[in-house]
Every structure is written in C-alpha cells, then in structure tokens.
Chain A
Amino acid sequence: MSTKTIAGVEINVNEEGYMTEISEWSKEIGAEIAKEEGIELTDKHYELIDFIRNKVTAGEGLTIRGIGKSGVVNAKEFYQLFPGAPLKKATKISGVPKPTSCI
C-alpha cells in the first residue's frame, strides 16, 4: 500500500495503481489516471464511470456482460471507450478495486 499525488491530491493506491479508498476519487483524479492509461475522458466515459462506481458501492460484481447491459454502452462500445483491457482500465480510472471476475 502506498500513496501517490494525482491532480494535486494525495491518494491511497495499491501496488498496481488501483485506488484503495473509493471516496478519495474525483473527476479530476479520474482524468489524470485516464491520461496515464492513454485515454482522454469524454461525457460517455464519465457516464460509465458513474455506473461502475454505483455498482461497486452497492456491493455488486462487475462483468463485461453486465456493463454491456448497463444501458450506458454495449460491450463493443465499452471496448472502444477503454481499448485493450477495458474492465481493468475502467475500474482503475473509476477509483474502484480491480475486479475479480473471470467473465
């Protein structure tokens, strides 16, 4: 466990760079982490980040299938918004723990 200064704020992160305190997140922090991942956040990204944060706060698991049925994006759009490893990148940017799902 360590800390990191992002967007002028000190936040707690784990060794992989995932935030460990969901409440420390802000839009600015999300945008900075996204930049590190090579992503410029749009309104659509933020809409999805909201969905992800709400899901995690409610204690529900995240899957690509679930996000594809979120009503915000379908699976294909999700891959386009967060290219490469979408679930990992989206959760990292959303300030929630790395998902443990296999699907």
Chain B
Amino acid sequence: MEKEEKIPLKKILLICSKANLEDVYAALVMGNGAVMEGIETKLFFTFFGLDAITKKTMNKLHTATTGNPGMRMPGGLPFPTLLGGLPGVEAGVSVMMRKQMDELDIPPVDEFLELITAGGGEIFACKLAMDMFKLTKDDLHEEVKDIITVGDLYEMCDGAGTQIVFT
C-alpha cells in the first residue's frame, strides 16, 4: 500500500454565527490556540455572532439558562428551565460564568480579539449580516480587519492544509 502523505494544518477559518458565551468562546479559544501554534488563522463572525465583535455587546455575552440541558445549579443539580426564565437570572448566571472564566485566565472578548490579532490572526465580519442588523464598521471593535462577503471568505480558503470550522 502506498504511504499516505500527511499534510499538516496550515490555515484555519473559524465561523461563529451565535452570540452565546460558549459558542463565541469556542471560536475564540480555537482561534487563539491556532495562532499560538503558528497556524494562519481567520475568524469570521456572522448573524448573532456579530455580537462578539460589536463594541456595545461583546463583553456582555450571555449563556442561555432556558433550553440548555447542560445548565446546572452550583452543586450540580439540574437547573429548572422555569427558574432560568425569570428576569435577571440569565444575566446573573452569565456574570458568574464570566467570573469563573476570568479566574482561569481566560480573557474577556475584547482582550481575546487583541491577543489573536497580536499573533497575526485576522477577524472579519459578514457583510450580509451587518446589513441585516444595520451595523456599520464604527459599531465594531477596532481589531476587526474587514467586512467581507461569502465570496471573499471562500477566496481565503485556498491552499492545501486549509480547514473551515463552524462553531
């Protein structure tokens, strides 16, 4: 049998379309991790994912307290969906989550973007979603390199050893 040639990962494009704390951080941790390994990294934020690069919302992301079966009370008991629906509960839980992350040296979203770009990673916003939500470049964090179309995104995917990941 012919020996299979292994092509190392050279470039990664991460697409984030959701504003949940966990979805955004999955993209950021994977993106930053790739930058740390010397992999060419591009992050593309679209739809609700734009919250992660919008100055007003980026550091106030929430995790869902309803419809989230992974949600637990402190101590491990299931988190009742009805409780999660009460005003302020989601905000409170999200503050707690962010605090725990900070203790693990996981930076807030704006600082995370800065870490990624410091290592040469690039951040992009989706043009169509920007138009939909009536956002302009001024609404976005300064680390966002450009507002691009799907076509632009695919043009960036050239080269062997490139992967696209949708978080």
Contacts and interface: CB of A to CB of B under 8 A. Distances in A.
Interface string B18-62: 000000000001001100111000000000000000000000000
A85 B36 contact: yes
B107 interface: yes
B38 to A, nearest CB: 4
A102 interface: yes
Given A85-B38, A87-B36, A102-B29, A79 B107 contact: no
Interface residues of A, number: 19
A53 B64 CA distance: 41
B105 A79 contact: no
A103 B105 contact: yes
B111 interface: yes
| Chain B CB within 10 Å, residue with most, of A66, A68, A83, A103 | A103
Contacts of B29: 102-103
Given A86-B36, A88-B36, 13 more contacts: A61-B105, A63-B105, A64-B115, A76-B118, A76-B119, A79-B118, A79-B119, A84-B38, A85-B38, A86-B119, A102-B29, A102-B33, A103-B104
Interface of B: 29, 32-33, 36-38, 104-107, 111, 114-115, 118-120
